[in-house]
A and B are shown apart, each in its own frame.
Chain A
Amino acid sequence: MTQVGVDRDSPARRPRPVPLRGRHGPRRRAWVGLVFVAPMLALFLAFRFLPAVGAVWLSLTDYRLSGRWKFVAFDNYARLLQDSLFHQSLVVTLTYTLIFVPLTVLLSLGTALLLQQVVWQRGFFRGVFFLPYVTSIVLAAVIWKWIYDAQDGLLNAVLGLVSIGPIDFLGSDHSVLASIAVTSAWKGFGYSMLILLAGLQAVPRSYLEAAMIDGASAWQRFRYIVLPQLRPVLFFVLVIETISAFQVFDAMYVMTGGGPVRASYSLVYFLYDSGFKFFDFGYASAIGIMLFFIVLIISLIQRRLVGRDD
């Protein structure tokens, strides 16, 4: 029989912390912990932190293919702020983010809520929804390119049945970003769905049961109990999906090449072209650093709006 009104993790049931032995207990544990995390820490420093520091240094130089360089201080940043391509790619990235993030979060949350209701074969359905996440984005992009094909794509064939179209989804600057956002959302929502599902399962059942007894509707339970409880998880999902949106490149590279007429030319695409087509490594690094600060500022705003109590 379930004991209504008592939280399973109430202080009365929590195990007592085991006292540490010896005079230098905490310090000893810190050393042992450090030894265990040292390999990971070394890898992180070597392959994440140092390249990031290197990118900051590169952004202050005019490093080119020849390997010759000179220190140019903030010239790359000044040039970037005046570059119309930077402005254009920033607008494209922001527009894409505004489509992709709500779409992915709603899709993830909706699927997580549905999955929570599923009793029969929940693991199977969870696996099915997670499957696109472990699929290669290049493969997904190629398949979606076929689906969107203006001439004989699957979507136009379906729309044709109700006398709509054909629509050139990837060839029109009005629909290209939404089309790519749908592909990316399909590919990536499984990860956020799992996180939200875990968050939903952590909402104390006692609260929901108490609300039900008080006569709250399903919407009221979601609005006043589930959503506030989910806020830390939602904040995390919002941040990772926003970062993922700002880093969009592969889907655009495969599906449109940044076109038509740079309508899907993102900041990372601009960075890629500057570095690997124009071999302007210093400038490309400045774009990367600028991208970092843009994402940081947006994450801080999100934290203020969504995760302020956490």
Chain B
Amino acid sequence: MKSTVRRVVAPLTALVLAAALSSCGGGDDTGSEKKSVTLWMYPVIADQAASDAYWKKVETDFEAANATIDLKVELQPWDKRDEKLATAFAGKKGPDTVLLIPDQIPQYVKNGSLEPVGDVLEADKDKFLPNAIPGLTVEGKVYGAPIYHTVTTTLYNKTVLTKAGISKPPATWDEIKAAAPKLKAAGFQTLDYSASPEATLNLNFYPLLWQAGGKVFAEDGKSVTFNQAPGLDALTFLKTLWDEGAIPKSALTNGNAIDNQPIGKGQVAMAFTATPANAALAAKSWGEANTEVGAPLTGAKQVGYGIPGGLSVNAASENLDETKKFLSFMTQPPQLQALSKATGYFTPRTDAKVEVTDPLTLKFGPALQYTFPGEPNPAARQIMSLLTIEIQAVLTGKKAPQQALDDAAKQADELLKR
């Protein structure tokens, strides 16, 4: 018995010891005092090769300027990013710094997961776009260092409009309502929209709500106001278009995308929250001459959705100073200009302009003045998921718009009270 056990245990012990010794050896090799900073970055640069090249250069340049810091850029998918972050933050783990957008930040601030970064931006704070720093600010403290600014606006398929006999692209709600019957008669739909429960309302219902003059939250953030008159106007506008067949039925399940969606296939006349990347994809499908970028839609007001993307710092980071050094590095004009060229997004700094040569991207510039970054609230994302279901109930005829908005508001207010 003993010999059998020995025969099995001896090699196992040797393996464990060998592994332990080899790991000790590794420690000696990297025995410098380098501190590491990990960044979780997402595919803001759509092209994989360009993304790899940009972040590799950032690593090289930053480490060259900061010999004692080891920067690790980990590229993550957009999908389920909050789930991964929430799990990491809950365990006091995760990256030292991560890319966040305005409506993600408050929930992590509320839970004490983020470190304020206002000191990083203090010297240059007047050089940022008006919405850039406020968009990443919660209760007076800045929690994100802006590295780009997005803008969304209208995108038109001129071939579809021409076939329906429409010479001027519809730019207001009234013009859209007037164009819908003509487009339907020509065999097309009018407006791209996603009512999928997994789609963000920032690109769908909320811009309509803001255009109607409404807000998601009351000023104090302790209750919602989307069920007031502007919200009803926005949802009624949407429902009217849905009932007229002006929105694709697949909107209930499809996300906001161009590829393999009715809009990409040339079945829909326009989108109202398109990004430069969407416009580039559409131009490939429709032809550049048939692709038109317009101004943000006008309801009672002219509003588009556009946000700063910012680097936030994990409060549990063991290397806060080094992480803030990296944020300071990333918010300097050379890095922002290179990122802008790679992403097609705008730089958040007014002194870091990039000469845009692409004619389609160029047309997004004027829309920047109409951008609204959304309303920060710790429950913003959760309330979205409550409201989306009620919007589906309206579109599928299960509830009247006011009833659905009131039901969503009741659930949202209960959530805000917790």
Q: Are A and B subunits of one complex?
A: yes
In the bound complex, CA of A124 to CA of B139 (Å): 65
Q: Is the CB of A151 within 8 A of B267?
A: yes
A261 to B9, CA, bound (A): 58
Contacting B86 at CB < 8 Å: which of A36, A145, A260, A276?
A: A276
Given contacts A145-B253, A259-B252, contact A66 B112 (CB under 8 A): yes
Q: Given A66-B113, A150-B249, A277-B385, 8 other A-B contacts at CB below 8 A?
A: A168-B249, A170-B253, A171-B252, A253-B198, A256-B252, A261-B398, A278-B382, A279-B111
CB-nearest residue of chain B to A22: B1
Interface contact B111-A65, CB-CB below 8 Å: yes
B230 within 8 A of A: no
The residues of B that contact A279 with a CB separation of less than 8 Å are 86, 90, 107, 111
- Ranked 5 nearest A-B pairs via Cβ: A257-B197, A66-B111, A276-B83, A257-B198, A65-B111
State the Cβ distance, A159 to closest chain B Cβ, in Å: 15
Q: Which of chain A's residues have a CB closer than 8 A to the CB of B83? A: 276
Cβ-neighbour of A259 out of B82, B262, B392 (below 8 A): B392
Main secondary structure of the interface of A (DSSP, over half): loop
- Residues in B whose Cβ lies below 8 Å from that of A31: 1, 4-5
Tell me, in angstroms, the Cα distance from A156 to B122 when the chains sit together: 59
Which of B2-30 touch A at CB < 8 Å? Answer: 4-5, 8-9
Asked, given contacts A65-B86, A66-B111, whether A261 binds B392 with beta carbons under 8 Å apart, the answer is yes
B250 to A149, Cβ gap below 8 A? yes
- Scan B334-350; emit 1 where CB is below 8 A from any A CB, else 0: 00000000000000000
* Complex alpha-carbon distance, A67 and B87, angstroms: 10
Q: Which residue of B lies closest to A35 (CB)?
A: B8
Q: List 10 A-B contacts (CB under 8 A).
A: A65-B107, A65-B108, A67-B92, A151-B250, A171-B253, A257-B253, A259-B196, A260-B396, A273-B385, A278-B382
Q: Are B8 and A32 in contact (CB under 8 A)?
A: yes
1/0 per residue B253-266: CB within 8 Å of A?
A: 10000001010010
Interface string of A259-294 (1 = CB under 8 A from B): 111100000000001001111010000000000000
Question: Are B252 and A170 closer than 8 Å at their CB atoms?
Answer: yes
- Inter-chain CA distance A35–B5, complex, in Å, is 8
**Number of residue pairs spanning A and B whose beta carbons lie under 8 angstroms apart:** 97
Question: Which residues of the other chain, B, contact A276 by a CB distance below 8 angstroms?
Answer: 80, 82-83, 86-87
Residues in A neighbouring B92, C-beta threshold 8 A: 67
Q: Evaluate contact between A281 and B90: CB separation under 8 angstroms.
A: yes
Cα of A261 to Cα of B1 in the assembled complex, Å: 65
Chain A contact residue count (CB 8 A cutoff)? 36
Question: What is B's interface to A at a CB cutoff of 8 Å?
Answer: 1, 4-5, 8-9, 80, 82-83, 86-87, 89-92, 107-108, 110-113, 195-199, 248-250, 252-253, 260, 262, 265, 267, 381-382, 385, 389, 392-393, 396, 398
A67-B90, A277-B385 known; A24-B1 Cβ under 8 A: yes
A170→B1 CA distance, assembly (Å): 63
Asked if A258 lies at the interface with its beta carbon under 8 angstroms from chain B, I say: yes
Q: In the complex where A65-B89, A145-B253, A146-B260 touch, is A151 in contact with B5 (Cβ < 8 A)?
A: no
Residues of A within 8 A of B381 (CB): 277
Interface membership of A64, Cβ < 8 A: yes
Residues of A within 8 A of B1 (CB): 24, 28, 31
Q: Which of A67, A260, A273, A278 contacts B91 (CB 8 A)?
A: A67
Please judge, given known A-B contacts A24-B1, A259-B389, whether A64 and B197 are in contact too, CB under 8 Å. no
Measured in the bound complex, the distance between the Cα atoms of B196 and A277 in whole Å is: 15
B191 to chain A, nearest CB (A): 15
- Considering the complex, give the chain A residue whose CB is closest to the CB of B395: A260
Q: Does A7 contact B (CB under 8 A)?
A: no
Contact assessment for A171 and B90 in the assembled complex, using a CB-CB cutoff below 8 Å? no
Whether A261 touches B253, Cβ cut-off 8 Å, given contacts A35-B9, A152-B265, is no
Shortest Cβ gap from A143 to chain B (Å): 11
Question: Chain A nearest CB: distance from B251 CB in Å?
Answer: 9
Residues of chain A with a CB closer than 8 A to B195's CB: 259
Minimum distance in angstroms from B412 CB to a CB of chain A: 12
Known: A35-B9, A257-B197, A259-B392. A28 touches B4 (CB 8 A): yes
The 8 Å CB contact of A32, one of B4, B80, B248, B253, is B4
Tell me the chain A residues, 59-106 only, with Cβ under 8 Å from chain B: 63-67
The chain A residue sitting closest to B381, CB to CB, is A277
Q: What residues on B are CB-neighbors of A173 within 8 Å?
A: 396
Once bound together, how far apart are the Cα atoms of A253 and B197, in whole Å? 9
Q: How far is the CA of A113 from the CA of B82 in the complex (A)?
A: 47
Q: Considering the chains assembled together, what is the distance between the CA atoms of A255 and B252 in angstroms?
A: 10
Q: State the Cβ distance, B226 to closest chain A Cβ, in Å.
A: 18
Contacts of B248 in A (CB 8 A): 151
Q: Give the residues from 144 to 193 in chain A that come closer than 8 angstroms, CB to CB, to chain B.
A: 145-146, 149-152, 168, 170-171, 173
Bound complex: CA A35 to CA B407 (Å): 60
Cβ contact within 8 Å between A171 and B197: no
Q: Closest B residue to A168 by CB, please name it.
A: B249
Please report which residues of chain A, range 10-45, place their CB below 8 angstroms from some CB of chain B when the two chains form the complex: 24, 28, 31-32, 35-36
List residues 242-260 of chain A with CB under 8 A from any CB of chain B. Answer: 253, 255-260
Bound Cα distance A51, B196 (Å):
33
Give the CA-CA distance A13 to B227 in the complex, in Å.
80
* Complex CA distance for A27 and B107, rounded to whole angstroms: 57
A255 vs B198: C-alpha distance in the bound complex, in angstroms? 10
Docked CA distance A170–B197 (Å): 13
Partner of A257, one of B196, B265, B393: B196
With CB as the reference atom, state the residue of chain A lying closest to B82. A276
- Distance in angstroms from B121 CB to nearest chain A CB is 26
Cα distance, A190 to B246, chains bound together (Å):
42
Q: Which of A28, A31, A32, A257 has the most CB of B within 10 A?
A: A257
